[in-house]
Amino acid sequence: MTDGELLRFLDVTSLRGDETAAECIDLARRVDEAPGPPSALCIFPDALAAVDAAFPERAWALATVVNFPSGAADPDAVGRAVEAAVAAGAEEIDAVLALEAFFARDYGRVDAVFAAVRTAAPTVCFKAILETGDPRYTPTLLGRAADRALDAGANFLKTSTGKIPVGATLEAVNLLCDAIGKAPVGIKVSGGVRTREAAHAYVACMEHRFAPESLTPRRFRIGASDLFTQLLPRART
């Protein structure tokens, strides 16, 4: 897979927390001018309206995060955040599993948070962030978390917020693929994917698990920031 082909699977991400609207618009301009283009630009909600207004005819999706990165478990607050994000132009929502509730086996609270996302945005692409690098997970528990996200109507299972020491791993991605089975649901690999080599390792993993011809941005994404610059043609001079 060439750099240009890989670029179209990318969710270009800027989630430091101190970005200004002007910085997000500048990044959006780079995304808009990129060959491909990338699948999405993922930014914090505060800059959504500015980017949406600046790029009304974009060929990429505008994505954002809610209850990020803590996995806050107030369903009403999550629902309101999703509604506000969609009103500001978000086309994709990345929401975090209510981790503390999950590990406390308060599955009703976990389900309520994810249900609030889907209720507030029935047609928006919903990516459930499972934070697969949390050391409390066992393979069985990660499968259980994935099942809850799938039952809630998630369109993607996403590995990580990128805010804890362990992000994406091939082991975790394989476990998520097991959970998906033949369902028309995607995997978003996020957290520590900073090089072409790392990205291609995940591509190879996905091609092994699914038919290569079915590997499209509706089935596979990579969430990254530094990788975007590396994949641009001018970065190879």
pLDDT tens-digit readout, 110-157: 999 999 999 999 999 999 999 999 999 999 999 999 999 999 999 999
- Residue 60 in tokens: 């990429």
DSSP H or E stretch at residue 187: strand 186-190
Q: How far apart are CA 119 and CA 77, in angstroms?
A: 13
* Rounded CA separation 85/66 (Å): 9
Average pLDDT of the residues in 210-232: 91
Please say if 127 is a catalytic residue: no
Catalytic residue list contains 158:
yes
CA pseudo-torsion sign 95, 178, 14, 24: negative
Cβ-contact 30, 7 below 8 angstroms: no
φ, ψ of residue 232 in degrees (nearest 5): -70, 145
> Per-residue pLDDT for 233 more than 90?
no
Of 128, 134, 104, nearest in space to 116 by CA:
128
Provide φ and ψ at 45, rounded to 5°: -60, -30
Provide the mean pLDDT of the chain.
95
Domains of the chain in start order, with CATH, are 3-236 (3.20.20.70)
Q: How far apart are CA 195 and CA 189, in angstroms?
A: 13
Active-site option among 11, 111, 127, 188: 188
Whole-angstrom Cα distance, residue 223 to residue 68? Answer: 15
Does the annotation mark 94 as catalytic? yes
Catalytic residue among 111, 127, 134, 158: 158
3-class state of residue 136 by DSSP? coil
Question: What's the pTM?
Answer: 0.95
Catalytic residue chosen out of the listed positions 11, 94, 111, 134: 94
Give 144's DSSP letter.
Answer: H
